């Protein structure tokens, strides 16, 4: 499903940065150095580019991604900063600190990039190549670590090449990264009653964060601290998006009162008014389907139907992650 690409490895420089920004603008994938580890970047506002990024990493699920920005004003367009978040960003950005914050209303970041959560992870990296790329591109760049799913994070361009050659457009080789571990992740959310919570230890030590805050950090449950994609205490941080409407998976027909989430040709005999159907990809393309998944679910959820019938989605390529999300959304009720 993922086309084989001729991955180029390029030395940083004005031409490389301009070229990489153009690749991002065209929906392509660019691996670039940050001060922590190499990131695999895509245009945060382009759902299909984000879907291609998940496909390149071979992720069986859509973990929410960090939106990288040039500076605090750019981050404020994506996320709502409370006083603690302002303090942390002022003291520690640019740098290896990621903040998980309420999503700003009207943010242009693709739903898929945040797994349709109402929170978003943002970070301003401190690396000349990452900063030059963000400046040239002029929009947020989502970037997970540039490794295949299940592998360790890459700290050299060679690591990235070993994992992702043939799956991405370009690797900017900025030499070994300085910090070598991923960014520290801190959540500042109203749901944790204003207590900043350490979600993932990383490049900024806890003491530096507590010094900037002027108080102690709360700890996430052990499972969440190990890897921030685990759910936190119920209600504190939703682990995934769930519609209010019941889902009926692997539907091969449409029953009275149902709306339909289709993929490819709709089920035989299903004739619903157009406004009761959303098709993830009429041409049966799983990348397009992933890009549309959360926005289509939201649109159907808003119709107030009894049930959303979901046709079977092929369990291959990004279909595995789509089915993972659908199963979670269905189980939530």
Cα–Cα distance measured from residue 168 to residue 78, given in angstroms and rounded to the nearest whole number: 26
Please identify, using beta-carbon distances, which residue of 227 and 253 lies nearer to ligand TXA: 227
Find the shortest distance in angstroms from Cβ 280 to ligand TXA. 23
Please identify, using beta-carbon distances, which residue of 17 and 146 lies nearer to Mg ion: 146
Note whether 121 binds ligand TXA by CB under 6 A: yes
Residue sitting closest to Mg ion (CB): 145
Burial 23-33 (b: 16+ CB within 10 A, else e): bbeebbbbbbb
Question: How long is the chain?
Answer: 333
List of E strands, the chain: 8-10, 30-33, 38-43, 66-68, 97-102, 119-123, 141-142, 170-172, 184-187, 197-200, 218-219, 246-248, 258-262, 277-279, 307-310
Considering only 11-19, 208-216, 226-234, 307-315, which stretch makes contact with ligand TXA by CB under 6 A?
226-234
Identified binder of ligand TXA from the candidate list 119, 192, 292, 307, rule CB under 6 A: 119
Q: Where are the alpha helices (DSSP H) in the chain?
A: 14-25, 47-57, 72-76, 83-92, 128-137, 157-164, 206-213, 222-226, 286-301, 319-331
Give 181-184 contacts, CB < 8 A, sequence gap 24+: 181/36, 181/37, 181/96, 181/153, 182/36, 182/37, 182/96, 182/145, 182/153, 183/36, 183/66, 183/96, 183/97, 183/98, 183/123, 184/96, 184/97, 184/98, 184/209
What string marks each residue from 137 to 176 as x (binds Mg ion by CB under 5 A) or -? --------x-------------------------------
Find the shortest distance in angstroms from Cβ 153 to Mg ion. 5
Q: Which of residues 290-329 bind ligand TXA (CB under 6 A)?
A: none
Find the shortest distance in angstroms from Cβ 227 to Mg ion. 8
What string marks each residue from 74 to 113 as x (binds ligand TXA by CB under 6 A) or -? ----------------------x-x-x-------------
Q: Which of residues 166-185 bind ligand TXA (CB under 6 A)?
A: 182-183, 185
Note whether 184 binds Mg ion by CB under 5 A: no
Identified binder of ligand TXA from the candidate list 23, 31, 37, 170, rule CB under 6 A: 37
Note whether 36 binds Mg ion by CB under 5 A: no
Find the shortest distance in angstroms from Cβ 281 to Mg ion. 27
Note whether 17 binds ligand TXA by CB under 6 A: no
- Binding residues vs Mg ion (CB under 5 A): 145
């Amino acid at each position: 499903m993922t086309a084989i690409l001729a991955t180029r490895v390029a030395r940083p420089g004005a031409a490389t940065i301009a070229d990489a920004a153009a690749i991002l603008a065209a929906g392509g994938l660019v691996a670039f150095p940050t001060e922590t580890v190499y990131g695999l970047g895509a245009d945060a506002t382009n759902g299909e580019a984000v879907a291609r990024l998940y496909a390149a990493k071979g992720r069986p699920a859509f973990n929410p991604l960090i939106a990288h920005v040039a500076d605090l004003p750019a981050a404020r367009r994506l996320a709502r900063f409370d006083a603690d978040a302002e303090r942390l960003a002022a003291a520690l950005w640019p740098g290896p600190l990621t903040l998980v914050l309420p999503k700003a209303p009207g943010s242009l970041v693709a739903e898929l990039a945040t797994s349709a959560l109402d929170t978003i992870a943002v970070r301003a990296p401190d690396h000349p190549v990452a900063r030059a790329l963000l400046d040239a591109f002029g929009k947020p760049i989502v970037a997970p670590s540039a490794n295949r799913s299940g592998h360790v994070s890459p700290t050299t361009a060679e690591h990235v090449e070993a994992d992702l050659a043939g799956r991405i457009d370009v690797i900017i080789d900025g030499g070994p990264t300085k910090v070598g571990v991923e960014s520290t992740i801190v959540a500042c959310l109203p749901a944790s009653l204003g207590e900043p919570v350490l979600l993932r230890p990383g490049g900024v030590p806890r003491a530096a964060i507590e010094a900037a805050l002027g108080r102690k950090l709360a700890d996430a449950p052990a499972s969440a601290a190990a890897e921030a994609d685990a759910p936190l205490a119920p209600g504190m941080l939703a682990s995934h998006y769930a519609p209010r409407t019941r889902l009926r998976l692997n539907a091969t027909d449409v029953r009275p009162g149902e709306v339909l989430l289709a993929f490819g040709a709709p089920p035989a005999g299903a004739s619903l008014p157009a406004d009761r159907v959303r098709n993830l990809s009429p041409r049966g393309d799983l990348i397009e389907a992933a890009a549309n998944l959360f926005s289509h679910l939201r649109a159907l959820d808003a119709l107030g139907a009894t049930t959303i019938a979901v046709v079977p989605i092929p369990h291959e390529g990004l279909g595995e992650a789509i089915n993972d999300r659908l199963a979670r959304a269905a189980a939530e009720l």
